[in-house]
Amino acid sequence: MSLPGPARADRPGWLAAAQMLLPLIAGGMAIATLYGAFFYAAREKTMGDVQRIFYFHAPAGIMCFLAFFVTFLASIAYLRTRRRIWDIVGHSSVEAGMLLTSIVLLTGPFWARPVWGTWWTWEARLVWTLVLWMIYAGYLLLRRYTDDPDQQARFAAVMGIVGFLDVPIVYYSVHWWRGHHPLVLKVSGGGGLEPTMRIVFLGGIITYLFLYMALMALRVPLGRMEDDLRRLEASSRARARGRRDMARVT
Amino acid sequence: MNPPPAVTPAGAAAPAATPDSQAAHAARADHHAARRARGPDMGVRAELARAALVAAKDLRIEMRSLDNVPAMFFFALLVLVILSFGFDFSTAKFSDVGAGVLWVAFVFPAVLSFGHAFALERDGECLSGLRLTPADAGTLYLGKLAANIVFMLAMEAAILPLSAVLFGYDLAPVLAPLAFVIAVHSVGFCAVGTLFGAMTARTRRGDVLLPILLFSVSVPLMLAAVRTTSAVLNGGGLWDGLTKTWLVMTCLFDLVFTTAAWLSFQYLLEE
Amino acid sequence: MEKHFPYLFWAYNIIWILIAGYLLWLGARQRRVRRDLEALRSSLGDDRNPDPGR
């Protein structure tokens, strides 16, 4: 790959299109879901309108799981092929996943407080999300504190694999720990979501899916640029050192 | 300062220490070819024997220097004392809160021990020496794991009777199931701890990073440990409903993470 | 209207704030990288020695 020129010029066409289209679709879906959440979905019987947080709270939880799965796959791919792009994809996906997990953790209490009277409860799903957040915060910290880039990529890949292997085990252990937790999601009537609610919930999932893809479309090329920069800086430093040594010798 | 590794390099070509991954790949291929050329040195038994050698080296160092286990023991004791300030054990029954207290006392010193295991190697450049041996990276992991397990169990064996004295509960009737529960969870904790210990030995603030990574990933293990220990302390059996489920999960955890760590250890040791 | 409106309001706002914050941070990083790349490119361009990055 030659020296990067003005960044916009050498983006492949499909990437430029994706970087414009995906956020637009995500934004459009968000508006549609927002409308649906407030004006289309039925009002929940016991919790009232506060329950409408659910349409942007729960889908984020599902999407963050997808993000970490992508990191899991990218980590394996990196260790096998040693191609930088997989390392960048893995890193980017963790950042996106952490954003989504943070959304879940921060919106949950706003739902819990009016409904259960407390900001936080050691309920299985919340604890699981918290542990997930901590595991991948560890991933990001590990990257930050490893100086050598090659080592960073390898360590992060191992962490990405080990962390994800842990996810189902944490899920089950936390649920057994808590016994039968109150069903947070199933709201109206006997159980299961009412049709209008189901549609809006689906809308929420699609919104977050496009949000995730948009974030990746923005973050991954940035990662490649930063990687190129680092490589260029290293080689220019090496060249400067070479010139200095030559000057000393001659 | 540190005695040289007990395993001598048997003429294997030293892997080139360049950052170029192609050279590293070539060197690894040379290394494997040299190993094959030496004849039937392979096979599970040979690898396990090499792992035992690595473990024996660490154990021998510990027996000569007594660096690790006594410190772990005193730290665990201190944790027990501090926690006993937090809970009022004149009114609270040990079998209610004791499981948590015990595991905190076991786990914090163990974290220090994991960091120590690889700091040792880094100080004397022993890691490069170890990499020169015919031992596989996975074998190195198993050896380190075995040593860590021995250290942790030794500390726990000393602390447990002491805790019975300090907190006034009857250890004898629950000793066998309790020992089993403690052992099986310690193995899992060491499995993850040895992996992360190796990783964080080479990072900045590794001493802080290790507990962060370790405790996050070990959450299921900790939950199982406390739940099963509590059940056993309260006189429950190992095969009672939920305890059995927890133990099955722990065994699964131990298996999955030991395997994952064994497979990925080679990626940690590359230069 | 709804007596729990403040909770609803802030929950949704948190989402926008987090997303917007992350996007702004990405933008700042991108500007910094482009700036550094330009600087490096011009200094390397003086040497007439383009360096293939891959």
What is d(CA B70, CA B151) in angstroms, rounded to the nearest whole number?
10
Residues 6 or more apart from B163 whose CB is under 8 A from it?
Answer: B80, B98, B101, B102, B105
What pLDDT is recorded for position A187?
Answer: 39
DSSP state of B11: S
Helix or strand holding residue C12 (H, E): helix C5-45
**CB contact (8 A) between residue B260 and residue A161:** yes
**CB contact (8 A) between residue A135 and residue B217:** yes
Touch between chain A and chain C (3+ CB pairs, < 8 Å)? yes
Average pLDDT over residues C25-50: 81
What is d(CA A162, CA A75) in angstroms, rounded to the nearest whole number?
10
Model pTM?
0.84
Phi first, then psi, for residue A44 (nearest 5°) are -70, 140
What pLDDT is recorded for position A68?
Answer: 97
Q: Which of A167, A223, A170 is nearest to A15 (CA)?
A: A223
Residue B193 lies in a domain: yes
What pLDDT is recorded for position A246?
Answer: 85
CA distances from B27 to B17, B19, B20, B66 (A): 9, 12, 11, 37
Assembly ipTM: 0.83
Q: Do the Cβ atoms of B113 and B72 come closer than 8 Å?
A: yes
What pLDDT is recorded for position A115?
Answer: 79
Condensed to tens digits (0 to 9), the pLDDT of residues B38-67 reads: 555 567 788 888 888 888 888 888 888 888
**CB contact (8 A) between residue A151 and residue B202:** yes
Residue A78 lies in a domain: yes
**CB contact (8 A) between residue B264 and residue A131:** no
Residue B12 lies in a domain: no
Helix or strand holding residue B240 (H, E): none
Confidence of residue B198 (pLDDT cuts 50, 70, 90): very high
Q: Which residues pair with A210 in a beta bridge?
A: none
What is d(CA B112, CA B36) in angstroms, rounded to the nearest whole number?
38
Q: In the numeric block, which tokens belong to residue A142?
A: 């590990």
**B contact test, residue of A166, A170, A171, A235 with most B CBs within 10 A:** A166
Residue A186 lies in a domain: no
Residue A171 lies in a domain: yes
Nearest CA in chain A to C50: A3
- SS3 at position A44: strand
Q: In the numeric block, which tokens belong to residue B171?
A: 């250890």
**CB contact (8 A) between residue C53 and residue A48:** no
Task: Kindly compute the dihedral angle of the four CA atoms of residues B145, B213, A60, A179, in this order, to the nearest 10 degrees.
Answer: 60
Nearest CA in chain A to C44: A236
Closest partner residue to A49 among C4, C12, C15, by Cβ? C4
CB atoms within 10 A of CB A209: 18
Condensed to tens digits (0 to 9), the pLDDT of residues B208-251 reads: 999 999 999 999 999 999 999 999 988 888 888 888 989 999 99
Q: Give the pLDDT of chain A (250 residues) as one tens digit per residue.
A: 333 333 454 678 888 888 888 888 998 888 888 888 888 777 777 777 777 888 888 899 999 999 999 999 999 999 999 999 999 999 999 999 999 999 999 998 888 888 788 888 887 888 899 999 999 999 999 999 998 899 999 999 999 999 999 999 999 888 888 764 444 544 333 346 678 888 888 999 999 999 999 999 999 999 999 998 988 888 888 888 888 888 888 7
Cα within 13 Å of Cα(A246), Cβ side: 6
Number of structural domains chain A divides into: 1
Residue B9 region by backbone torsions, left for phi larger than 0, else alpha for psi between -120 and 50, else beta: beta
Asked if B249 has any chain A CB less than 8 Å from its own CB, the reply is yes
What pLDDT is recorded for position A234?
Answer: 86
Q: Do the Cβ atoms of B246 and B227 come closer than 8 Å?
A: yes
Report which listed range, A195-209, B139-153, B162-176, is most confident. Answer: B139-153
Q: Do the Cβ atoms of B197 and B267 come closer than 8 Å?
A: no
**CB contact (8 A) between residue A177 and residue B213:** no
Average pLDDT over residues B165-174: 86
Residue A146 region by backbone torsions, left for phi larger than 0, else alpha for psi between -120 and 50, else beta: beta
What pLDDT is recorded for position A190?
Answer: 37
Residues 184 to 243 of B: which have CB under 8 A from any A CB?
Answer: 192, 195, 199-200, 202-206, 209, 212-213, 216-217, 219-220, 223-224, 227, 242
**CB contact (8 A) between residue C33 and residue A222:** yes
What pLDDT is recorded for position C54?
Answer: 43
CA distances from B97 to B8, B40, B91, B216, B218 (A): 49, 54, 11, 22, 20
Asked if A236 has any chain B CB less than 8 Å from its own CB, the reply is no
- SS3 at position A48: strand
Q: B63 lies in which domain range?
A: 21-269
- Specify the length of chain B in residues: 271
List helix spans (H) across chain A: 13-35, 54-81, 84-116, 124-145, 149-178, 195-249
What is d(CA B228, CA A171) in angstroms, rounded to the nearest whole number?
18
Average pLDDT over residues B117-146: 75
Residues 6 or more apart from A167 whose CB is under 8 A from it?
Answer: A65, A68, A132, A135
What pLDDT is recorded for position B178?
Answer: 93
Q: Which of A97, A42, A100, A107 is nearest to A72 (CA)?
A: A97
What is d(CA A176, CA A167) in angstroms, rounded to the nearest whole number?
14
Residue A36 lies in a domain: yes
Q: Do the Cβ atoms of B115 and B144 come closer than 8 Å?
A: no
Q: A222 lies in which domain range?
A: 29-41+48-181+192-249
**B contact test, residue of A167, A177, A180 with most B CBs within 10 A:** A177
Residue B227 lies in a domain: yes
Asked if B22 has any chain A CB less than 8 Å from its own CB, the reply is no
Asked if B261 has any chain A CB less than 8 Å from its own CB, the reply is yes
Instruction: Please say whether the dihedral angle defined by the alpha carbons of residues A70, A71, A76 and A78, taken in this order, is positive or negative.
Output: positive
Q: In the numeric block, which tokens belong to residue A149?
A: 């880039």
Confidence of residue B10 (pLDDT cuts 50, 70, 90): very low
Number of structural domains chain B divides into: 1
Chains that touch A (3 or more CB pairs under 8 A): B, C
Higher pLDDT, B95 or A32: A32
- Write out the DSSP string of B37-88: HT-S--SHHHHHHHHHHHHHHHHHHHHHH--SHHHHHHHHHHHHHHHHHHS-
What pLDDT is recorded for position A188?
Answer: 37
What pLDDT is recorded for position A4?
Answer: 31
Cα within 13 Å of Cα(A140), Cβ side: 14
Residue A34 lies in a domain: yes
What is d(CA B34, CA B98) in angstroms, rounded to the nearest whole number?
54
Phi first, then psi, for residue A220 (nearest 5°) are -65, -45
